[in-house]
Amino acid sequence: MNHDHETKKKVLVLLGSPRKKGNSTILAQEIAKGAESVGAAVETLYINGMAIKACQACWVCQKEESKGCAIDDDMQTIYPKLVEADAWVIASPVHWFNMSTQTKLWLDRCFALSKYGENPFPKKVAIAMSYGDADPFGSGCVNALRSFQDCFGYVGAKIAGTVYGSAMNAGDISQNTELLKTAKKLGKKLAQ
């Protein structure tokens, strides 16, 4: 029996940018490479390409007899992956002073996770963000990071680390070699 396979950490990467080769995606890919380098199994989901509706505030997911979210869309296939993962990587560009709409839709729907087991949130979360402004405060990156801190703090999930940097055009972040190294290190930390 292969015991390595049984203990392999599962890392789920959620790409919240509309650009498949965007800067936050590049950072997330470096985190994934770091996790894979220490033996983690990594799966990546491109949120923008999925049908994820906004939370309808129906509260069905919070009822005693509930089996989870009542909305029948792609989140139904994402929920089990979220629960099975040991760690999540969430990648988002800053759009209008906060996380992208795609990321926020996904995050709001995580409200229903409370019905998927005793503590369905992962032990570790990594955040990767990019923004066009030179300043993480002026860009709104800090607003997004604070939202993630509040959400994950509330449910007891630990943010293992964040990587973020300024890059306007798709792929520009690739020039920031130090940031890419930091992202890869974060991936190793996430998977251990």
Domain layout of the chain by residue ranges: 9-191
Specify the pLDDT at position 6.
56
Q: What is the pLDDT of residues 100-153, one digit of tens each?
A: 999 999 999 999 998 777 789 998 999 999 999 999 999 999 999 999 999 999
- Residue 4 clears pLDDT 80, i.e. is over it: no
Mean model confidence pLDDT for the chain: 94
Specify the CATH superfamily of domain 9-191.
Flavodoxin domain (3.40.50.360)
Q: What is the pLDDT of residues 160-190, one digit of tens each?
A: 999 999 999 999 999 999 999 999 999 999 9
Residues 6+ apart with CB under 8 A from 93: 16, 17, 19, 22, 23, 24, 100, 129, 130, 131
